[in-house]
Amino acid sequence: MQLRAPALILSVRSHGEHNAVVRALTEDAGMLAGYIRGGHSRRLRPVLQPGNAVLGEWRARSEEQLAGLTVELIESRAPLYGEPLAAAAIDWVTVLTAAVLPERHPYPRLYSALSAMLDAVEAAPAARGWAVALVRYELLVLAELGFGLSLDRCTVTGSADDLFYVSPKSGAAVSAAAARGYEARLLPCPAFLREGGEADWTAILDGLRLTGHFLARDLLIDRRAEILAARERLVTRLKRAVA
C-alpha cells in the first residue's frame, strides 16, 4: 500500500511514549489509520491537531498492515483551540467522524462537508457563523451511513406542507395536522433542514436535538457516553452563549 493525499486529521492516539496512531480522512480513500514515529514530539504535536489539513503519505507492505505515515502541514487550525466554542465544535465533528466511519471506505461528500464545516469555524469562530453547517453535517453523516431522515413528505398524509415534526421511531416527517395531539411525542423539524438558508438559535437547537437523537440511537449505540460527551460539551456551551 502506498498513498499520498490531502487529509483531515481526525484523532491522535498515543503509541508508546513518543509515537502515535493517527486517523485521517481523505477524499478518495476514506478514513485511514497510520503510525507516526515521534508523533508526540515538539515538532509534530502542533501538526497532528484534530481539524488540521495535511498532506499525508501512507506506506505499508500489505493492506492488512498498519501503514507508516508521514505528514506535511497544509493548514493549521490550532489557533481556534483558543476559542472555547470553536474548539468544542472541532473536537465534536472530528470525534464523531473518527468513531462512526469504517476505514478505507470513500465518503467524498463527507470529506467535502467536513472541510467546509472546518472552514466555516475558521472564518467565523462565533457560533452563529457555523452552527447551521454543524447540524447539516450531522444529518449528512446519518444519510451517508444508511440512516438518513425522510424530511420531504409527511409519513401519515403524504403532504409536503407544514412539516413541523419528525417521528423519533421512523425518522420521517410529520405534518402539523397529522401530529395534532401527539406533538409532545415527536421531535421538532426546523425549516432550514428542508429549505436551506439561515436559522435562528431556536431552530438550530431544535436541529441539534433532532440529529442528536438519531446519532445516539443508530450510530453510537455502544459508545454513547464516551463519544457523546464531546457533543454534550458543545451543546452546553452553545446554550450558554445564546442564553
Asked whether the whole model's pTM tops 0.85, one would answer yes
Cβ neighbours for 87, distance < 8 A, ≥ 6 positions apart: 80, 81
Cβ neighbours for 123, distance < 8 A, ≥ 6 positions apart: 129
The one-character DSSP state at 69 is: E
Nearest of 109, 38, 105, 116 to residue 71 by alpha carbon: 38
Average pLDDT, the chain: 94
Q: pLDDT-based confidence at 242, cuts 50/70/90?
A: confident
Q: What is the layout of strands, in order, in the sheet containing 173-175?
A: 173-175, 163-166, 187-188
CATH code 3.40.50 for 79-151+189-243: no
The one-character DSSP state at 121 is: H
pLDDT at 64 over 90: no
Q: What is the pLDDT of residue 40?
A: 85
Residues of the chain with CATH 1.20.1440: 79-151+189-243
pLDDT at 243 over 80: no
pLDDT at 129 over 90: no
Nearest of 178, 240, 243, 239 to residue 209 by alpha carbon: 239
pLDDT at 219 over 90: yes
Q: pLDDT-based confidence at 180, cuts 50/70/90?
A: very high
Cβ neighbours for 63, distance < 8 A, ≥ 6 positions apart: 1
Q: For the chain, what percent of residues have pLDDT higher than 90?
A: 84
Residues forming beta bridges with residue 15, ordered by sequence position: 19
Q: pLDDT-based confidence at 226, cuts 50/70/90?
A: confident
Q: What is the pLDDT of residue 224?
A: 67
- Quote the CA–CA distance of 17 and 1 in Å, as a whole number: 27
pLDDT at 223 over 80: no
Nearest of 42, 23, 21, 40 to residue 32 by alpha carbon: 23
Q: What is the pLDDT of residue 225?
A: 72
pLDDT at 140 over 70: yes
Residues of the chain with CATH 2.40.50.140: 1-76
What is the fold of 1-76?
OB fold (Dihydrolipoamide Acetyltransferase, E2P) (2.40.50)
3-state helix, strand, coil in the chain (%, to 5): 45, 25, 35
Dihedral of alpha carbons 14, 19, 52, 100, sign = negative
pLDDT at 114 over 90: yes
Q: What is the pLDDT of residue 187?
A: 98
Mean pLDDT, residues 28-47 taken together: 93
Residue type, 225: A
